Structure 1
Amino acid sequence: MSKYLLNKFLFTVDRDPEWVERYREDPRGFVSWWEKEKANRLLNCHAGEASTWLRFTHEEREALATHDYVRLFEMGAHPFLTLTLFIGMFERDYDEPLGFQKEYARRLAHFSLPYPDIAT
């Protein structure tokens, strides 16, 4: 498992409105595309440098492909990265102010300190 790769996915997708929409509409296809095309690209490097070894585990791929932010949190994905990305994707689906944030808090309420380790 690579918390680095999970967090890199959440971080990079959240910064591109087109990617946010693609991830919302076709999560499985987008995760597959991102893993193949972007996972091994170095952050902040646009000159074509890349690594070759980063891959999601089956469990990580499934959690991303099903938008399972509770499972992502359990695996150590950073809670601020999951929250900001999923707000961008799902806040519009709620009628009340802060609707998604309340749902996020409710679904993660069973966790108590210490939270899962988020160090990469």
Structure 2
Amino acid sequence: MSRYLLNKFLYTVDRDPELVERYREDPRGTVEWWEAERANVILNVLTGEKSSWLKFDDTEREALATHDVPKLFELGAHPFLTLTLCIAMFERDYTEPLGYQLYYAQCLSHFTLPYPDIST
């Protein structure tokens, strides 16, 4: 399990509007593509230098592919990264003010202190 890789996925997808739409429309395909093409690219390094060992485990891959916010939080994904990406993808589906944010809070309401470790 790699909290770093989960958070890297959320961070990089959220910063690219085309990837946000791709992830909304084809989450499983986007996760598979990102893992194969981008997971080992060193963050913020544009030289083409790559690592070779980072990959999601089956639980992480499935949680990302199904947009399972509670499972991502349980696995250590940072809630602010998850929230901002999910707002970009799903806020348009809610008509009431803060509709998605309220849904997100409800999804995580069963967690009590101490929360899962989100450090990387």
TM over 0.5: yes
Q: What is the 5 A alignment of 1:1-120?
A: 1-120=1-120
Kindly provide the amino acid, as one letter, of the partner of residue 112 in structure 1: T
Residue deviations 1:30-75, cap 9 Å, x none? 0000000000000111110000000000000000000101100011
* DSSP 3-state at the match of 1:59: helix
Distance 2:21 2:41 in 1: 21
Instruction: Report the CA distance between 1:114 and its aligned residue.
Output: 1.1
Distance 1:106 1:68 in 2: 13
Q: Report how many aligned residue pairs link the two structures.
A: 120
Name segments (4+ residues, structure 1) moved above 2 Å: none
Question: RMSD over aligned Cα, in angstroms?
Answer: 0.4
Kindly provide the amino acid, as one letter, of the partner of residue 55 in structure 2: R
Distance 1:72 1:107 in 2: 11
Instruction: Report the CA distance between 1:29 and its aligned residue.
Output: 0.4
Kindly provide the amino acid, as one letter, of the partner of residue 8 in structure 1: K
Unaligned runs of 5+ in 1: none
Distance 1:40 1:72 in 2: 20
Whether the aligned pair in 1 keeps the contact of 2:69 and 2:107 (CA below 8 Å) is no
Distance 1:13 1:65 in 2: 13
Distance 2:89 2:36 in 1: 22
TM-score, normalised with respect to structure 1: 0.99
Kindly provide the amino acid, as one letter, of the partner of residue 86 in structure 1: C
Taking only the aligned residue pairs, the percentage that are identical comes to 73
